[in-house]
Amino acid sequence: MMKKILSVSGKSGLFKMVSQGKNMLIAESLIDRKRIPVYPKDKVVSLGDIRIYTDEEEVPLSQILNKIKEKESGKPIDFNPAIQPDELRNYFAEILPNFDRDKVYPSDIKKIMNWYNLLVNTGNADFEKKEESEQESEKNEEQETKKEE
């Protein structure tokens, strides 16, 4: 699921990839369900491709969102948008104690918290389960392709 959820630069909120054409994607807003074209000139990032720096390795965003979900019992995070950077870091340290404080900025943490709230509020809170099944189906497709060769 996380591979099909997109962040589009210059557009607020998150989008779900609906269709892919030759020179564009069609994405649907998770907030108002309006569809927009996304062109190659637009900067697009799949949430499935995002990793968070730690002192040892990079952790997939889906794992971070799952940890937030566990901490918040599946409910949205109740935070003030004017939250101070130290409070953001303290909250994130509860989720990922060894995150790299030099590379992960308070604005990144706030964005992750907003994304989490948006995903929970729109019923897209199965962060890893669907992703694992997608990975399994991709592996099965690869194996079938190898058998055919």
Q: Give me the residue spans of the domains in the chain.
A: 2-47, 51-121
Alpha-helical (H) ranges within the chain are: 61-71, 85-95, 106-121, 129-148
- Amino acid letter, 74: G
pTM value is 0.80
Top CATH class of 2-47 equals mainly beta
User: To which H or E segment does residue 44 belong?
Assistant: strand 44-46
- Closest among 57, 72, 96, 65 to 2, alpha carbons compared: 65
Instruction: Give CA–CA dist 118/143, Å, rounded.
Output: 36
CATH fold group of domain 51-121: Arc Repressor Mutant, subunit A (1.10.10)
> Do residues 16 and 27 touch, judged by C-beta distance below 8 A?
yes
Q: Which residues contact 70 (CB under 8 A, 6 or more apart)?
A: none
pLDDT range class, residue 121, cuts 50, 70, 90: very high
pLDDT at 142 over 60: no
Q: Which two tokens stand for residue 32?
A: 């108002």
The pLDDT of 11-17, averaged and rounded, is 92
